[in-house]
Amino acid sequence: MKKETIPSLDLNNFTNGDQQSRQKFFKTLGKGFEEYGFVAIKNHGLTEELTSELYEQVKLFFNLNLDIKKQYERPELNGQRGYISFGRETAKGFKKHDLKEFWHFGQEVIDGDPISKEYEKNVICSELPEFNKIGRKVYQSLEETGKTILKAIALHLNLDENYFENKVHNGNSILRAIHYPPITKKPEGSVRAAAHGDINLITLLMGASNSGLQILNKKNEWISVTALPEQIVVNIGDMLARLTNNKLCSSVHRVINPPKELWGTSRFSIPFFMHPRSEMSLNCLESCISKQNPKNYTDTTAGEFLEERIRELGLKK
């Protein structure tokens, strides 16, 4: 496989840099998102300590007996909160389910915003008192980082720096803790996560316990993505691709199965899926439509698009 790497950036150059540093950052960021849809970022604000604490809690949760975990599964919530058991999610266009189980932490509205009526309450795991508490801290940290990255994206698109601010305030974001269990028999066509694009605006991935993530580049080649310990990986989701009429690239990506000698190992991964408020328009920006790039998408809202994709994933009937 050709050794190709996604761009690496330092968020400090944008948050604390002079005008020249900020401009260089958002131009490099934008170019990376146009070419690969993925970048790696350091100085993102999430501490090593908090990252380690959450991974520790996540491993403790997934090591609980299945009957205990099942108590936290709420099918009526359509996979948006709490535990989602092994085999429930199938990537769009695939018949075989992904080889994973996961947990969802969702938004908690604390400022009286009426949008709270749209959200279910988070499921609380009573066996692990620190699990939800640390999950909430990480959620808030990555949400702030996501807002900063969206400011840089807005500048790259020649929009006002705060274009996304009111659209993501109390947005329907999800922090997903994923466990890919050991593979105990020949997968028969299933992989840990089949090729897919993310639904949301941007995804912030706080590292994974081992390799496996690959993205499909514009030459239709799969390239492996690995971040340094101090980095997070950030990628464009389908909502932002729609908004920008594919100027920003929502790259198809997957998590492949390990070599057979490593089938007995678990893999853990924690992405933060940054969603806007349901009423946000995903209609293609006029500035991204041209004769060379005619409008590719019908008009829709974030809420309507999310509803459609949840059904396609098999999480809602």
pLDDT digits (tens, 9 = 90+) for 133-183: 999 999 999 999 999 999 999 999 999 999 999 999 999 999 999 998 877
Q: Which domains does the chain have, with CATH numbers?
A: 8-312 (2.60.120.330)
pLDDT digits (tens, 9 = 90+) for 55-69: 999 999 999 999 999
- CA-closest candidate to residue 272, choices 227, 218, 206, 182: 206
Query: Do residues 248 and 37 touch, judged by C-beta distance below 8 A?
Result: yes
For residue 312, the model assigns a pLDDT of 77
| Cβ count near 30 (within 10 Å) | 18
| pLDDT, average across residues 226-251 | 92
- pLDDT above 50 (res 270): yes
Q: Which amino acid, 43?
A: N
For residue 26, the model assigns a pLDDT of 96
For residue 159, give every residue at least 6 positions away whose Cβ sits within 8 Å of its Cβ, in sequence order, or none: 285
Q: Which whole-number Å values give the CA distances from 266 to 70, 183, 255, in the listed order?
A: 19, 8, 13
- pLDDT above 50 (res 209): no
Give SS3 for 35: helix
For residue 2, the model assigns a pLDDT of 46
Q: In what order do the strands lie in the sheet with 253-255?
A: 193-196, 253-255, 213-216, 222-224
- How does residue 311 score in pLDDT terms, banded at 50, 70 and 90? confident
pLDDT digits (tens, 9 = 90+) for 84-116: 988 665 555 545 566 789 999 999 999 999 999
What's the mean pLDDT when you consider all of the chain? 88
For residue 266, the model assigns a pLDDT of 81
Rounded CA gap, 45 and 141, in Å? 7
For residue 36, the model assigns a pLDDT of 92
- pLDDT above 60 (res 1): no
**pTM for the full model?**
0.90
Rounded CA gap, 70 and 82, in Å? 10
Pairing mode, strands 101-106 and 82-84: antiparallel
Q: Which amino acid, 297?
A: Y
Question: Torsion angle, CA of 135/140/145/149, rounded to 10 degrees?
Answer: 110
pLDDT digits (tens, 9 = 90+) for 69-83: 999 998 887 778 999
